Structure 1
């Protein structure tokens, strides 16, 4: 008895289309607009804070949140348990993020600092309270999402492993930012030359006097070249998830040319190796900053740490190939059994 194409189509279950998290998408759009505005403002506004444009900080935060908010919106679209909880956490993340970045933008327009600012005017006092409340909100919302998804298979194994590891590293990257509050107070001036005391900064130094922000900065990022700058580890932690997801998406394409990568278990193990490598890099750079050492001036201990991290992907990949990849490649390379029907032939049973 034959079945028509229409009947087959009707009998095939159609999965519901995935819907990305709308508040996070709205946040992504707002941050993209802010990034464009900040770039334009930098071209016409020559005011400076710590030797950088007053609009550089809004630009960097906007770009960072475009990447992270869109990533969260995408991964929350996968079916998973606790979707109501993660939807609300994503919404809290979006609202809190917009409020916090809004304060950064207003302070930039005022020509003064958003972070660690101890000025006693009413606007700054109220703004700092709102700002300092929002930062834990971002962290906790992301933590709840990470914990909720950490035990679930969201999609295929390699991509699920990338999401789990990336969220965990992002939580660590956010946690590192709290340590900046212990870097020590510093005296500086706002964009108009008025004295401002900052309760803390981004840089650490093992000795005294402490390294000040804005002294010896790298091009574009303005990360410190004279002391340990925690912003580097913070940046790596937040954006590890995008790098791991891209790696998980590229591996199937690479598998078309490398046969031993075609098994899902092999690719999942390689993502684990990559995640361990990235986490190790994050850890070494954070450790380097806490010791008051600039990224571009590593000592012997730091170089040893980097060397150990570099060995992880080499040894890990070799181990994955030895345990899983070799057998996969052997199976794929094995000749077709003589008993098996030739392609295009019809078996007696099907006649």
Structure 2
């Protein structure tokens, strides 16, 4: 190995070590901020890997797709949502005891949710929109009630925080609240799908690349858009606040509201497309 190659290898190892240290520090900080949600996020991150292996090893197919695909997607989504809520929750100006109670409700509820989804996959049956037996219908009902309770708890936490003074830049605070707001809307769209026992109206409309969801007649797209407001809008607020401190953004809070308005238009537009065939 020549000196140039050795230098490249050294820089690569240094970069990997720096990334590992940053990840370890971030995980430790998340655990400090919210032990409950950090634990639930970690459990679901592990389950994500386990379920992904199940996709490869288990040939069982449910509703035209690998049985373990849905648990894998849900485990990843729950891990991301819990990590985000755990990281942001400390900035909400509410009583710490209230925040801890909400974390327990959310954590227990989402653990129950992934356990039921994984359990149905292990049985080789669908977890959603499945009323084939009394047991399947009961599991679907429990999942529906659970997600409503979790969503209401998160919404209540944001409402409590809304009128109080945040300890972060106003733009970041606005991003957090608006992100939770659109997240709640997206979560209730998921509850609506359970209530009507359907996620899609079969049409010949084009599909969304990668995920394969229908552009029209499919509520999953709006559900996805709403849930990920929890990451996008707080990040927008954080970046707007950082830009303001550096003199790059003159009206950071207004910027956040503009992005949130545009995001809301996309969310409501996708929701309208999702229900359009049912209204015709």
TM-score bracket for this pair, using the shorter chain length? 0.7 to 0.9
Q: Among 220, 223, 229, which residue is 2:213 paired with?
A: 223
Rounded to whole Å, the distance in 2 between the matches of 1:165 and 1:248 is 10
Q: Which ranges in structure 2 are unaligned for 5 or more consecutive residues?
A: 1-28
| 1:250-298: CA deviation from partner (whole Å, max 9, x where unpaired) | 33555688x441x5xx1111011111111111011101111039xxxxx
Which residue matches 2:240? 251
Is 1:284 the counterpart of 2:266 in the alignment? Answer: no
Superposed CA offset, 1:54-90 (max 9, x none): 1111111111111111111112223623332222012
Over 6 Å off, 4+ runs: none
Provide the rounded CA distance (Å) in 2 between the counterparts of 1:79 and 1:170: 16
Counterpart pick for 2:171 among 142, 155, 158: 158
Question: 2:226 pairs with 237, 241, 251, which one?
Answer: 237
State the SS of the aligned residue for 1:203.
Answer: coil
Query: How far apart in 1 are the matches of 2:146 and 2:239?
Result: 36
CA distance in 2, matches of 1:93, 1:252: 29
Query: What secondary structure is seen at the aligned counterpart in 2 of 1:292?
Result: helix
Contact 1:203 1:292 (C-alpha < 8 Å) held by counterparts:
no
Shift of the 216–38 alpha-carbon distance from structure 1 to 2, 3 Å rule, reads: farther
Which position in structure 1 is the counterpart of 2:155?
Answer: 143
Give the aligned CA root-mean-square deviation in angstroms: 2.5
Q: Give distance in 1, aligned partners of 2:117 and 2:105.
A: 18
User: When the two structures are superposed, what TM-score results if normalisation uses the length of structure 1?
Assistant: 0.64
- Kept after mapping to 2: 8 A contact 1:49/1:111: yes
Gapped runs of 5+ residues in structure 1? 1-16, 184-199, 205-210, 294-351
| Equivalent-residue separation in structure 2 for 1:52 and 1:269 (angstroms) | 44
TM-score, length-scaled by structure 2: 0.79
- How many residue pairs match? The answer is 247
Aligned pair partner of 1:99 in 106, 112, 132: 112
Aligned match of 2:13:
none
Matches within 5 A, 1:151-230: 151-154=163-166, 155-181=168-194, 183=196, 200-204=197-201, 211=202, 220-224=210-214, 227-230=216-219
Partner secondary structure for residue 33 of structure 2: coil
The alpha carbon displacement at 1:220 in A equals 4.6
Judging changes above 3 Å, is the alpha-carbon distance between structure 1 residues 179 and 79 closer, same or farther for their aligned structure 2 residues?
closer
Tell which structure's C-alpha radius of gyration is larger.
Answer: 1
Secondary structure, aligned partner of 1:46: coil
